[in-house]
A and B are shown apart, each in its own frame.
Chain A
Amino acid sequence: MRRTLVAALAAGALALGCRSDLPPSDALRLDTAPAGGDTRLTLIAPPGFKLNARVKPALELSEGTVLRFDSPYLTPDSAYFTRPPTALLAGSARRVRGTLRASICQPDELVCRSVTQEI
């Protein structure tokens, strides 16, 4: 019974999870670090996934600004980031609120999927 409930909840999460198809534990991760008087944001892909560099990940801040993540470290075909991309947020921020958006790909599936995540 409990297993069925868990399975149903998981299925519901998959069905309703926008287009992410990812359980919460595999979500995008956003790290913050001071950079002078500003804040450096680093976007970490879920384990086993690559971040698409052709459409740069974005953080849509609650007040309307859109930050795009970037990194000079790319695969030879420029398709994916090989190191986590970063963005600079003006000012010192302990907590960032907004919507993270990224295109992620799992190499052996040969498809891309979109992740949208509130933070």
Chain B
Amino acid sequence: MLPEAPVLRPSLPILFALGAAGAGTLALDSASRAQAQSRNPLTAERETGPAPSWRNASWLNADHPLTLEELRGRVVLLNFWVFTCYNCTNTVPSLVDFDRKYRDQGLTLIGIHTPEFPPYAGEHDKGNVERALRQYGIEYPNAQDNDSRTWNLYGIRFWPSFVLIDRRGNIRYQGAGEFHLNDGNYRLWERRIQELLAE
């Protein structure tokens, strides 16, 4: 039995902003970036609260199904993705870099692989996901979310999306959208990771 999803449904203003949001923060200068980030739903700090517990049964790069409870004391970055999403795979090098730099300092990166299409498209197939992990050099754990349960639990709407959870199991940051090594949003997420690791 899954717990109820807490405080994560986007508010109506956020839904409106999603419809109106355009170019995002990628090309903003630093002076306007902070202000824009508070408005842009793809990078904005969202509502916070206890992270809901996922219960995915099928995992790759993990010797047992990971739970949120056992990760208490670590910072957790969830990446909702699917291997057919170009924006998602473009972001993988940055995530691999985060994993390499911060795993030993207390970061656990977890891919939540959520298909877009029904099974006929091949996104549900564990072998295909495994091949994608090898192709992109992903060594961090990945959960198959074939029924979109964790996606729905966290109120996710876009590929790729990110949820950053602190050592106490609280959601601190959420966002969506492709980023690249050392670009503005990479640095934004890195600062957030560093902030939570320092707590």
C-alpha gap A19/B88 in the complex (Å): 17
Task: Identify whether the interface residues of B are mostly helix, strand, loop, or mixed.
Answer: loop
User: Cβ of B157 and Cβ of A109 under 8 Å apart?
Assistant: no
Contact with B along A7-34 (1 / 0, CB 8 A): 1001100110001010100000000000
Task: Looking at the assembled complex, report how far the CB atom of A26 sits from the nearest CB atom of chain B, in whole angstroms.
Answer: 10
Taking CB as reference atom, which chain B residue is nearest A15? B15
Given that A21-B157, A55-B116, A103-B116 are known contacts, is A112 also in contact with B19, CB under 8 Å in the complex? no
Q: How many residues of A contact B (CB 8 A)?
A: 28
Number of interface residues of B (CB under 8 A): 32
Question: A32 → chain B, closest Cβ, in Å?
Answer: 22
- B84 proximity list for chain A (CB < 8 A): 52, 54-55, 103
Given contacts A14-B15, A14-B18, contact A112 B120 (CB under 8 A): no
Do residues B117 and A80 form an inter-chain contact, with CB atoms below 8 A?
no
**28 pairs across A/B with beta carbons < 8 Å?**
A7-B16, A11-B16, A14-B15, A14-B18, A14-B19, A19-B157, A21-B19, A54-B85, A55-B85, A55-B116, A55-B121, A58-B117, A58-B121, A66-B120, A79-B86, A80-B86, A101-B118, A103-B116, A103-B117, A105-B86, A108-B23, A109-B177, A111-B42, A112-B85, A112-B87, A112-B116, A112-B159, A114-B116
